[in-house]
Structure 1
Amino acid sequence: MRRDDLRVKNSSTEQTAVSPSSSGCALTPKFVAVEPLQLIFEPNNKMLQASIKITSMNPNRIAWRIRTNAPTRYVVLPTSGFLTANANVTSRITLIDPRKYHRRHRFMVQAMEAKDNEKDRKKIWDDERAMKLDVVQSIRISTSETSSLKTAAGISSSTKSLSSVSTNKGQQLSESSASNLLNASTNSSTSDSSESLPFGPVSDKATNAPAADDSDFDCAQKIEELTEKVKIAMSEKVKESQKLIDVVNEVKKIEVDLDRTGAQCKDYNDKVAYEEAQCKVSISTKMIRIVCSFFKSLSSKNLDE
């Protein structure tokens, strides 16, 4: 019965947040459901990966985000967003360097109601209401490796065997020692899982200094390589842009030449039309003169006769 009470207590502390200023246990509103509450990483993989499923349990529009106390160790995609009623999203969490894993790495899923006109998934968390515990739901998620889980299982089995073997006073002593061990492990797990924001940086004493130097050197090399690639891509883009500008300039020149040719053609057409009109007038004038002279000659002949 005592172990069940401890498990219920652990699950309640992980699913809800307690306001430090309130008297008693004032639970935050429940907007989303998160599973799992413990991320288990496989140490055999080169890049440790896990996933978190976030499901909306509120009829209204919900804004959510994922935070961690080791932001430089993990890649979280996506890190924030919005959810409608009964919608869900799966976020993939990747540990970049397995050597940098630490058992105190924690994640926190936060959720609160969002208005329909709020579209920026990052700007919404800069609002003052994001700092209120009675408005934001916070769910803490712990991490572990499969090896550590096996060790914990061995410890629990050994405590069970010790409690079952002893009798009378010896049984009471073993039960009390086992309960003390269980309480100590529970207190350590609850203290680890109940870290409040902002998260403090995790100490790197558990990792070796040469390994850290090597990883930093590798990161620096990768950054330099990526920088060179970006520079090359930018230079290629500049060249292509210059070619495109040259083509556009040539097209504009051709358009100007076409406009000039069109204007010249129009002038020539006007000149031709004018010349045709002048020719018609001159021809008609000559014909009239010829007719007039003909009639004059006829009239003069008639008078002579």
Structure 2
Amino acid sequence: MSAVTSPETTEAAARLPAAPQDGAAGTRSGHGGKRRRPSRPRKAAVPPKPLALVLSMALTMVAAVITLQLVNIIIVSPLQHAMAQTRLYEQLRLTLSEGSAPLGQTDYEGNLVAPGTPVALLSVPGLNIREVIVEGTAAPQTMEGVGHRRDTPLPGQPGTSVLMGRSGAFGGVFRDLALAPAGAKFTVITGQGTATYEVTGQRRAGDTAPPTPTGTQGRLTLTTADGPAFLPNDVLRVDAKLVSKAFDRPAPVILPGSLPAAEQAMGVDTSELFMLVLLLQLLILASLAAVWSWTRWGKGETWLVFAPVLGAVALLAGTQINHLLPNLL
């Protein structure tokens, strides 16, 4: 039965208040019908000032370079040294078999032996050392192997020969040199044959050097940094006398004491400083490009493109920084 709407009912319905809308209902609370206080608008983030942004990026890059350098010298440098020794050993074996290994400060053509040329093989069984000796004692040479001081005779010849090796980085070949006891014997193989030495003692700064060898007497001084790892505070020298027959010594060309400071004990090499500046500038440009790419391309694309680039440039820059560190570190 359908309901019949009368005119009075229609007029009463028209006078009723309208139902609250969704927005209006949302402003009421659960009790007492009180309205909620409107929320305050959030303040827009204030972009950093240009100077602060530049300083932040600069400090971040400095921290990144320091971290990468620590990784380079502690983890990467032993790998670089091992690869260099493999290459040098093959070169030395070839020159020894051909009879073209250097016998003095000059080669068979009369030219000065180039720094980094393999000249001998050092074997110290008691310290587990088997190392190719290269000509020169600047940082680039001791990064690859034990360096022979160029103004001294080659091992096995009369006089005092000097070898320098690292105590921590790049294999730390001479890290245990202080453990060499007096009387221990070791050998050095050169183009003239095998020379045998016997350790006679150790000395540090302030200790008196042994007498200068005379006639056919020979001495070999092994030199390295002394003190905590990567924080040396002294120079350690282990002296050994030649106990095998001395080889002939060619006439010297480089006068004793005429080497630059970079080839002295704890010397630093600044010859590649210009290259370091260029690599650091390239690292800055690559970092800025990576930041731009991060905002334009996205994280994945940026890592894919710039991670190898930044890694390679950082490695090259770290190698140049190593030239500025002491050659016995």
Q: Rg larger in 1 or in 2?
A: 1
TM-score by length of 1: 0.29
Higher relative helix content? 1
